[in-house]
Structure 1
Amino acid sequence: MKDADLTILDAAGLQQFLVLQDDAVKAVTERFYATHGSAYARFGDAGRQACQEDLNFHLEFLRPVLEFGLLQPMVDYLIWLDSVLTARSIPSEHLALSLEWLGDFFAAQMQAAPGAVVVQALTAARNGYLQTGVAPVVLPVQPPWPEAQDFEAALLRGDQRTALAVMNRAMDAGHSLVDVEMHIIQSALYQIGEKWQANQISVAQEHMATAIVQMVMPMGLLRSPPPEQTGKTVLLACVEGNQHAVGLSMVSDAFALAGWQVQYLGADVPTRALVAQITASQPDLVGLSVSFPQQLRMAKAVIGLLNDAMGSQRPAVMIGGLAVNRFSQLASVLGADASSLDARTAVACADQMVAAKPSAA
């Protein structure tokens, strides 16, 4: 899983890096405005704030490189960010320059050995971004059905009634909610994300679309025929810091319609509270959603705490989400038992794991 050419920081080096993050963001922002301030004048105060936010994201994606040797997600992020900045008429070369200047800061402020590790990681990410050009699609989008276009248009208009009608017509035609979510709803949301990236819609429209989906999907679950119960329980949660819960909601629906009892905890569940709930309820399976690489450490922390608290009685743990989809090996790196690309395969994998689990003596 680790890039063979990258060195990982030890605990002391990682702590040095974390302590210096805020100062690094401030220093590089000031350097940008001192050198290229005229390029950002049209953005006013919002431009300086956006610059700081982007630099903070750089460092959040850098941490998994330093902690796990996981370079490719940062490269993909940089390529994605380049397309976003280009759509907003911000020079592409400024992105590469920001990585170089972050390296200058950490080389000057950290002890020599850990500072060299940080510079190496930033250089590798910069080179990977400049050499690759186009980021691969990381979302396992299922083939969209024609209805996805109508659903997308309704979301962008803020038209909840039409979005609901599109879903209902598909279900009236005999399609399951899981199929509708994977081939219509997920596909529409992916296209909306692409349009936001290209600066064709606003962030407010993207949020509105997500909110409508979160209102429509439960209605599809309520009208679905009740399944035969399996007697098994799954607990699903987004790890601490992960605010993106729509995909996990789809997984929840798939398990519920497959006859599992679902404990759905939703977005951004604090680690200690999540571990306490799992320990108290003792489900057959735990599903953790991780959207961004910087959240991997939270998943690892949850699994480690569960091992400490429950030992051999720990339930099986499955991980999924955008940060996991391209790197199936992450399951073993984080201590999980399995990973899954989408809602349907999550249920199939869970059924196999539970069936293979030895019965309690």
Structure 2
Amino acid sequence: MSLDVTAVGKAILDREDRLAERITRLQYERQPELQQKFGEIGWIKTKQDTSYTLKYLAESIHLESPLLFSSYMTWLRVLLQQYQVGTEDLYVNILCFQEVLRQELDEETYRYATPHLEAALRQLGSDAEQQGSYLEESGMAAEATAYTELLLEGRRAEASRLVMDLVDRGVPLQTIYLDIFQQSQYEIGRLWQTGRITVAQEHYCSAATQLVMSQLFPYLFNQSRKGLKLVSACVGGELHEIGLRMVTDIFELNGWDTYYVGANVPARSLIELLKDYKADVLAISCTMTYHVSLARELIAAVRQDPDIGGIVVLVGGYPFNTDRELWRAIGADGYGRDAEQSVRVATELTGRKGRSGACQA
């Protein structure tokens, strides 16, 4: 990665507030009907959304991945529909990005932003694909639907009983995790994005699922051990921890010894833990695109330590599912699309390391 790319992202973030102000003002000049439609609060919200979009743009440039930015626009397009913000409004917003950035940045710096903005415009100019219910994709669709409906109705105890009944019937825990918990969480996220449930409901459902998962802990440790150790962490202030919690539990189910540390662990402390625990694999979760650089910095710090520089580093989360080659760009050894694939990739990489003394994906 060139220094120019890093400098471009920094140039945008250093001017974030000024850029957001100018872009919002220009959009309202081009679309004066927005003032009448949304009022003063609409102007404030537009500036806030523009600031977030600038963060995503800066990170996408930093990572040299226009796909990350265009995918974010697809996600934002769906999210904002519930607030009567149309695709045309987003399209005009990106046109304003182009005009303001062209004026604010020098020609060489702006050149790096061009493919990302053009990718976003192409995406917004195409027909929107509607994601159907994730519950229908589950191998246990009826049970996943019933579980999710119970959570949405606030009937946590009954949702727990449903899961424990499945356990008593001999349904494998891995199946429950992948077909019930995972698909339910995906669906809850979709319902929030499309405005069908509130943030409070989304948080309740996630917390309830974590509680139900905790009731399954005694069953996780009944598996024979493989002598392999995993440390799992979310980068920075990443708040979306439940996915990594599921991944960690699936590792336990497959005979790994795990050490889940969650979010907000300083890099130095994590490195010391990796040494003390003699971990074979470090799993890093990242949901927000603008946290990917933190993952890269963490991986670089791990690689620089001679005591653990050869540890297998596995990454996962939304940005890596969007750009399937992103894990290579930040120095990881591999990536897992979901919990099941993460275990498979980690097992393969540790086996390869044991045979050759190196771990290359």
In the alignment, does 2:52 pair up with 1:54? no
Counterpart code for 1:76: S
User: 4+ residue stretches of structure 1 with deviation over 6 A?
Assistant: none
Corresponding residue for 1:80?
75
Aligned runs of 1:1-361 on 2, under 5 Å? Answer: 9-33=4-28, 36=31, 39=34, 46-131=41-126, 133-134=128-129, 142-224=138-220, 226-310=222-306, 313-358=309-354
Deviations for 1:13-64, whole angstroms, at most 9, x for unmatched residues?
Answer: 3332221112111222333445546535665665344323321221222123
Cα offset, 1:316, TM superposition: 0.5
Question: Does structure 2 retain, via aligned residues, the 8 Å contact 1:8–1:117?
Answer: no
For 1:8 and 1:130, locate their aligned partners in 2 and report how far apart those are by CA, in whole Å.
32
Percent identity, aligned pairs only?
24
The one-letter amino acid of 1:92's match is T
Could you give the per-residue CA deviations for residues 274-298 of structure 1, whole angstroms, max 9, x where no partner exists? Answer: 3343344331111011213322212
TM-score (norm 2): 0.88
Contact 2:229 2:280 (8 Å CA) reproduced? yes
**Given that residues 233 and 260 in structure 2 are in contact (C-alpha distance below 8 angstroms), is that contact kept between their aligned partners in structure 1?**
yes
Instruction: Spell out, residue by residue over 1:209-252, the C-alpha distance to the aligned partner (whole angstroms, 9 max, x if none).
Output: 11111211111223456122222210001112421111111111
Query: Could you list the runs of 5+ residues in structure 2 that have no partner in the other structure?
Result: none
Deviates more, 1:285-294 or 1:9-18: 9-18
| 1:310 counterpart SS class | coil
Letter in 1 for 2:42: G
What residue ranges of structure 1 are gaps of 5+ in the alignment?
none
Q: Contact (CA 8 Å) 2:238, 2:291: kept in 1 or not?
A: yes
Letter aligned with residue 118 of structure 1: A
Compared CA separation, residues 114 and 224, structure 1 to 2 (3 A): closer
Instruction: Tell me the distance in 1 between the aligned counterparts of 2:323 and 2:120.
Output: 17
The answer to whether the 8 Å contact 1:21/1:59 transfers is: yes
C-alpha deviation, 1:109, in angstroms: 1.5
Q: Residue 57 of structure 1: SS of its match in structure 2?
A: helix
TM-score, length basis structure 1: 0.88
SS of 2:233's equivalent in the other structure is: strand
- Counterparts of 1:154 and 1:41 in 2: how far apart (Å)? 41
Distance 1:335 1:109, change over 3 A: same
Query: What letter corresponds to residue 275 of structure 1 in structure 2?
Result: I
User: Is the Cα contact below 8 Å between 2:228 and 2:257 reproduced in 1?
Assistant: yes
Equivalent residues, number: 354
Shift of 1:173: 1.2
Give the C-alpha shift of residue 196 in structure 1: 1.9
CA contact (8 A) 1:236 1:288 kept: yes
- 201 and 59 in structure 1: CA distance in 2 versus 1, 3 angstrom threshold: same
Contact 2:8 2:58 (C-alpha < 8 Å) held by counterparts? no
State the Cα deviation string for residues 99-150 of structure 1 (Å, max 9, x = none). 111222221112221023324432332223313532779x996534311111
